[in-house]
Structure 1
Amino acid sequence: MTPQLQQAIRLLQLSTLDLQQEIQEALESNPMLERQEEGEDFDNSDPLADGAESAPATPNNEESYQDTSYQESSAPTVDNLEEGEWNERIPNELPVDTAWEDIYQTSASSLPSNDDDEWDFTTRTSAGESLQSHMLWQLNLAPMSDKDRLIAVTLIDCINDQGYLEETLEEVLDAFDPELDIELDEVEAVLHRIQQFEPAGIGARDLRECLLLQLRQLPAKTRWLSEAQRLAGDYLDLLGNRDYSQLMRRMKLKEDELRQVIELIQSLNPRPGSQIEASEPEYVVPDVIVRKHNDRWLVELNQEAMPRLRVNPQYAGFVRRADSSADNTFMRNQLQEARWFIKSLQSRNETLMKVASQIVEHQRGFLDYGDEAMKPLVLHDIAEAVGMHESTISRVTTQKFMHTPRGIYELKYFFSSHVSTSEGGECSSTAIRAIIKKLVAAENAKKPLSDSKIAGLLEAQGIQVARRTVAKYRESLGIAPSSERKRLM
C-alpha cells in the first residue's frame, strides 16, 4: 500500500474525537495547514490540481442537506496556488509499501505531542477516583493506631471493585508477620470500622451482610426497617427464589406488607463499590446528522465535528524558488503532506456520507416507526450499493455515530441478521428483540411469560423463532428468566 492509502485507512478508522485530535496535531506540526474560520471566504478547489480549477462553492443552509445522498461539498477543501507557481512538480504518488515516516519525518504522528510549554500533566494523565483511593482517603481521617492502620490498609487491598471483601479474615491474618502479634479479633474489629465507611455496605463478605450494613445506616424511623432486616438476615434465599407464599407465612405478613418490605430491600445497592467509578467518562460526538424535512429524510455530515482545512497560501508561496536548500525542501515536503492529509480527510468524509446515506435509505422504517420496523442488513448489502469492499464498510461503521430524532446510534447498530417469516419474508433480529421487550413489558407480573410462550406469540405474528433463539435474544436484552421475573403486584 502507498503511504497515502495507509493514511486514508487510518483516518477512516478514527472516531470523531480521535480525528479531531489528529487534525489538531497536524495543524500544530505543519505550518502549511490552517483551519477555515467561521465567516471567512473560502475557495473550494481541487486539492491535488496544480492549476487553479475551482470546484463549486459549498451551498449553505437547506442546500447543504442531501436526501439520503452523498454531498461532496461537505468534505474539507484546500485553496490551490495559481498555475505556473511550481518550477518543480511535486509527485502525486509515493512508492508502494513504504511508510509515511520514511519520506516525511515531520508528520504529526512522528512529532511528540507533549510540548513543554503546553503539556498539561493533570489533564492527560488524570483518571477517575478508584474505590481503594476513596477508602484510603477516609482511612486517613479516622483516628487509629499504627497497627490498626496497617490492618485496615491490608483489608482495603482485599476489597474488590464491587465492594466485597474477597479474602477471609483468617487469610488476611496469615498475611501478617507473626512478630506483629496480630490476633483475629483485632482484624475483625478493624473490618467493622471499615464497614462504617462510605459507600454504605462496603467491606461486606456476602450479600446478606452487605444488605444488613446498609439497613443499619437507615434512620430508625424508616417504615418496615425491622422486617427488612429480618428478611435480609433469615430469608434471603426465599426472596431470591421468589417464594412469596413462604415468606408471607414465615414472616406473618400480608401480601401488600411484604411488597413494601421487598421494595425497601430493592432500594439498596447489592454492589456498593460500583458507585465509585475509576474510569473516565466517554463522550460521543455524532458524525452524521439525520432529520426529516418535507416527508424526506435528509442526511448531512456534522460540520461542527468536521473542521474545514486549507493550505496557507502565504507559506505555500515560499516554495516558489526552485532551489535544493534544506529550508526549501522542508517546505515542499510540508506542502505535499498537507495536500495528502486534506485528500485523506475528503476521502473519509465521502465514504462516510455514502455509507450513512445508504443506511438511512435502507432503514427508513426504523426512523419512522422504531426498532420493530428495523430491516435485516449486513455489510455486504451496503458494500454492494456503494461499490466498496466489506472491510471498508466495517471500518467506516466502527465508532461512527448517527444523530437521529430517535437518539444517537452507532452505525453498526443498523446492521442485524434476519429470521424467516411464515409469509416467506425476513425479520431482523433487532426487530425481534424489540418485540420480545414489548411482550415482557406487558406480561402479568405474577405469571411472567416463559421463553416457549414468547416463541409461540412470535409464531402467531408470523415470525418463526426457536425457544433457544428467544432465550439468546432475551439474555442480550438483560431480561431475566421467567422464574426470576415473578414478583408481587
Structure 2
Amino acid sequence: MEMNLMQKQSLKLAMTQELRQAITMLQYNAQELTDFLFEQSLENPLIEVETPYSDYSSTKVSKQTTTHDHGMELYTRKTESLQEELISQLNELKLDHDEYRIIKYLIYNIDKNGFLMETDEELIHELGIPYSQLQICIEILQKFEPAGVGARSVKECLSIQLNGLDRDTSIAKQIINEYFDMFVNKNWKEIAKKLKMSLGELQKEIDLILTLQPRPGLNYYQDQVNYVAPDLSVEKIGEEFVVLINDKIMPRLKVLNEYSSILNGQHEKEVSAYLKDKNTQVNWLMKSLEERKSTMLSVMNCILHKQLAFFDKGPAFLKTLTLKEIAEELSLHESTISRTCKNKYVQTPFGLFEMKQFFHQGVSADGEELASTSVQVFIKQLVDEENKEKPLSDQKLVELLSQKHGVEISRRTVAKYRDILRIPGSSKRKRFS
C-alpha cells in the first residue's frame, strides 16, 4: 500500500456561538425569551432586563394571575383541587372520629376522574376496618359534590347521578346497568327492542343520560389554567390589513449606566477588557432581538399576503401554503421559517391562531388549492345543518362538498376529516323523534 500526502480545499460554515444564540432566540416565544434574557443577565453585570411583568424573580415568573391592558391573562391561575373541595365538604359534616378519618383517607385515594382507585379488599386491609363500616363511609362520600364522585366505574358514577335526580330514572338506570355496552356503541334499535319501547321514547332516556358527567373529577383536574398572549396581531386599518407586533409582552434590554465610566475611563486592564467583552455581548443580544422582531414581521406579512382571503372572510377560506413557499419568497431557509412560527400566536379578526396553523396541504376546489382545514369547516357546517333524523352519509358529504364548494375529495378522505373533527358516523348521529 502506497501512502500519499494530499492537500484538499473545502468550504465549511463555522457556526459561532453568537449565531447559534440568534437562531435559538428566534424560536422562543415571549415568555421563553424573557427567561433566556434573565439567565443572560445573571452572567453579565451590564444587562438590565425590562419586562411588562410586575413580579419577576430569578428566571421564573411567579405563577399567579397577571392581567394587562391588552385584556389577556398571560400565565397561570391556581384553582381549587378536587381533594380540597371534598375536604371542605367533609369538614362541614358532624361525624365521629373514625368516620372522619376513613372518609378523609378515601378522598386522598380518588383519582383525577373522581373515582376511588382501590378495591374494597385493599381499603379494608389498609384501614383495618370491617366491610360494613367501609360501605357506610363510601355511601357518605358518594353524596358529596360533584355528583358521582367516589364511584368505582363510569357505570356506577352515572347510576349515582341518576339516583340524585328528582324524577323517575328507572329506565335510564336500567339502560346503564343492563345495556351499557349497547349504549356506548349506540345500538339504539337493539336497546329499544329489549325495553319494548319506541325509538322516540328511548331518545328521551338517552338525552337524559347524556346530560350526566361520566368523569366528575375532570373539572377540578386543572390546577393551572393557561392563557396565551398573541406575539403578533393582524388588524384592518381602513381598507388594508396591517401586521403589528405585541411590544407589551416583549422584554427589552438596557445597559446599566453605572458601568459606563469604567468602560470609558482608565481602570485596570483586566476589568476594562472583561467589561468590554460583556458590552459586546449586550450589543449582540440587542441586535439579535431586533433581527428576531424583523423576521417575525416579515414572515407574518408574507403569510398575510398569501392568506389574505382568510383574514378577510374567515377560516373557510384558508388556502394551501407550505414553509417552502414563504422561505423562497423571503430568501430564507425553511428551518428559519419553522423556528419563527414555533410557539408564536397571532390575534386575527377571527380569533387567536398559532402561526403554524396557516400552513396546510391542500385539496382541489374549483381549480384552486384549498387548505384541508377549510374543507373540515365545510364538513362541520354540513353536519351541523343536517336533519338529525336522516344524517348525511360520508358519500352524501362527498357529493355536497362537490356541489356547494367545488371540493373534490374521496369518501375515505371525508371519513378521515370527520375523525379529526371527532364527528361520529351517520348511524351514531341519528336521532329519533
Is the TM-score greater than 0.5? yes
1:212 aligned partner: 159
Residue of structure 2 in register with 1:113 after alignment: 58
Q: Conserved in 2, the CA contact under 8 Å of 1:401 and 1:411?
A: yes
Residue of structure 1 in register with 2:138 after alignment: 191
1:169 alignment counterpart: 120
Report the more deviating stretch, 208-217 or 393-402. 208-217
> 1:478 — aligned with what?
422
User: Does structure 2 conserve the Cα–Cα contact (< 8 Å) formed by 1:400 and 1:410?
Assistant: yes
**By how many angstroms is 1:438 displaced?**
1.1
Post-superposition CA distance 1:217-263 (Å, at most 9, x none):
34x3x5x5566555545555554454556666776877776555444
Q: Work out whether residues 154 and 172 of structure 1, in 8 Å CA contact, stay in contact via their aligned partners in 2.
A: no
What residue in structure 2 maps to residue 305 of structure 1?
249
| Number of the residue aligned with 2:260 | 316
- What CA RMSD, in Å, does the superposition of the two structures yield over aligned residues? 3.6
Cα 1:275–1:429, aligned 2, differ >3 Å: closer, same or farther? same
Deviates more, 1:306-315 or 1:124-133: 124-133
SS in 1 for 2:235: strand
1:382 aligns with 2:396: no
Q: Are 2:233 and 2:348, in contact at CA under 8 Å, matched by a contact in 1?
A: yes
1:428 is matched with 371
Percent of aligned pairs sharing the same letter = 37
Instruction: Tell me the distance in 1 between the aligned counterparts of 2:252 and 2:154.
Output: 55
Closer/same/farther in 2, CA of residues 7 and 143 from structure 1, 3 Å limit: farther
Alpha-carbon distance in 2 for matches of 1:113, 1:304: 21
Task: For 1:113, give the aligned amino acid.
Answer: S
Shift of 1:357: 0.8
Deviates more, 1:18-27 or 1:245-254: 245-254
Map of 2:289 onto structure 1: 345
Out of 13-22 and 429-438, give the one that drifted further.
13-22
Count of aligned positions: 405
Q: Gaps (5+ residues) in structure 2?
A: 1-14, 66-74
Does residue 273 of the first structure (1) align with residue 220 of the second (2)?
Answer: no
Does residue 1:403 correspond to 2:340, yes or no? no
Q: Report whether the alignment pairs 1:451 with 2:394.
A: yes
3-state secondary structure, aligned to 1:304: helix
Instruction: Between 303-312 and 194-203, report the one with greater CA deviation.
Output: 303-312
Shift of residue 270 of structure 1?
Answer: 1.5
Secondary structure of the residue that 1:354 maps to in structure 2? helix
Where do 1:35-434 residues align within 5 Å? 113=58, 128-139=79-90, 142=93, 144=95, 148=99, 151-152=102-103, 155-173=106-124, 175-176=125-126, 180=128, 182-218=129-165, 220=166, 228-229=172-173, 231-233=175-177, 236=180, 239-242=183-186, 259-312=203-256, 315-325=259-269, 327-421=271-365, 425-434=368-377
Structure 1: how far apart are the matches of 2:76 and 2:239? Answer: 48
Query: TM-score normalised to the size of structure 1?
Result: 0.71
Per-residue CA shift, 1:114-150, capped at 9, x if unaligned? 79xxx97999999544434543454455555665556
Q: Tell me, in whole angstroms, the C-alpha distance in 1 between the residues paired with 2:429 and 2:358.
A: 29
CA distance in 2, matches of 1:145, 1:7: 63
The answer to whether 1:13 aligns with 2:27 is yes
Mapped to 1, the partners of 2:202 and 2:29 lie a distance apart of 50
Deviation, structure 1 residue 285: 1.1
Letter in 2 for 1:397: C
Asked whether the equivalents of residues 20 and 305 of structure 1 are also in contact (C-alpha less than 8 Å), the reply is no
Read off the aligned partner of 1:214 and give its amino acid letter. Q
Q: Taking CA–CA contacts closer than 8 Å with sequence separation of 6 or more, which of the two structures ends up with the larger relative contact order?
A: 1
Change (3 A) 1:246 1:37: closer
Instruction: Report the CA distance between 1:352 and its aligned residue.
Output: 0.7
Deviation at 1:191, TM superposition (A): 1.8
- Indicate the residue corresponding to 1:3 in structure 2: 17
Aligned CA distance change for structure 1 residues 458 and 126 (closer, same or farther; 3 Å): closer
What residue in structure 2 maps to residue 57 of structure 1? none
Gaps (5+ residues) in structure 1?
39-111
Question: Where does residue 45 of structure 1 map in the other structure?
Answer: none
Structure 2 CA distance for partners of 1:452 and 1:255, relative to 1, 3 Å: closer
Distance 1:305 1:176, change over 3 A: closer
